[in-house]
Amino acid sequence: MKHIYLVGFMGTGKSTVGRALATSQGRRLIDTDDMIISRDGRDIPTIFAQDGEAYFRGLEQQVMADIAAMDEPAVVSCGGGVVLRDDNIRTMKSSGTVIWLTAGENEIYRRVVSDTNRPLLAGKKTPEEIKSMMEGRREKYEKAADITIDTENKTAEEIERMIKEELL
């Protein structure tokens, strides 16, 4: 399959692992949030604040369709909510392999606690709230995933090696 899609909740290391994987595979790295920002000209919190989540999801869906249509195989680091639209799941499954990165709520809390760039975590700062948000999405991630990797207590390089072995 063409692309390698990295999906998972915010703070599961998609960007860091994506960089390691793209380097080792000699592939281009595409970050869906970065593509949205460069197309729209605003950052993510501003898009959410001015136009709302549904508008953001529309931009995200368009970006996913455009990435799927690219010929050159890439590593794609996806925004955590990409699985919320079934269309995006279909798009990914028909154009690549989907890797779901997971971590427990305490680890995610530790990684995102001082972050101001994720509007959906504003005011959702306890591990319990993160856990409940993750549980609400679990079914979607399960539906999307071809391969699942637990990222807890592992370096990006270790995770990248595990993914390479799974892809063989």
- Site residues (vs ligand S3P, CB under 6 A): 10, 14, 33, 44, 79-81, 118-120
- Of 8 and 96, nearer to ligand S3P (C-beta) is 8
Residues sharing a CB contact under 8 Å with residue 109, sequence separation 6 or more, in sequence order: 125, 126, 127, 130
How big is the chain by its Cα radius of gyration, in Å?
A: 15
The 10 Å Cβ neighbour count of residue 87 is 10
Q: State the minimum distance, in angstroms, from the CB of residue 2 to ligand S3P.
A: 21
Question: CB–CB of 6/75 below 8 Å?
Answer: yes
- Of 26 and 123, nearer to ligand S3P (C-beta) is 123
DSSP three-state, residue 26: coil
Q: State the minimum distance, in angstroms, from the CB of residue 168 to ligand S3P.
A: 27
Q: What is the DSSP letter of 11?
A: T
- Of 7 and 163, nearer to ligand S3P (C-beta) is 7
Q: State the minimum distance, in angstroms, from the CB of residue 49 to ligand S3P.
A: 12
Q: State the minimum distance, in angstroms, from the CB of residue 33 to ligand S3P.
A: 5
Q: State the minimum distance, in angstroms, from the CB of residue 68 to ligand S3P.
A: 17
Distance of alpha carbon 33 from alpha carbon 42, whole angstroms? 11
- Of 26 and 148, nearer to ligand S3P (C-beta) is 148
Q: Where are the alpha helices (DSSP H) in 26-150?
A: 32-40, 44-68, 86-93, 105-112, 127-144
Phi and psi, residue 60, nearest 5°: -65, -40
